[in-house]
Amino acid sequence: MKILNCKIKLSEVIYEVQTNKNKYFKYALPKNISNYKVRKVLKNVESKLDHNSNN
């Protein structure tokens, strides 16, 4: 997973992410959560996207 960009808004951060299987997605999260939690959530979304591409 590679975070390509992040846009900081008033109350959220929008992440643009590339998965290991070259899928792209955007995901918004609140500004007040930890970096660890951000990475955990984005990895979860990545695994679901990459898993669905196998079907």
Tell me the pTM.
Answer: 0.87
- Locate 35 and state its tokens: 């970096």
- Structure confidence at residue 9 as a pLDDT band (50, 70, 90): very high
Range of the domain at 12: 2-52
In a 13 Å sphere around the CA of 52, the CA atoms on its Cβ side amount to 8
Strand partners, 5: 16
Strand partners, 3: 17
Q: Average model confidence (pLDDT) for the chain?
A: 95
| Rg for the chain, CA atoms, rounded | 11
Place of tokens 């643009």: 16
pLDDT for 12 beyond 90? yes
Q: How many domains does the chain contain in total?
A: 1
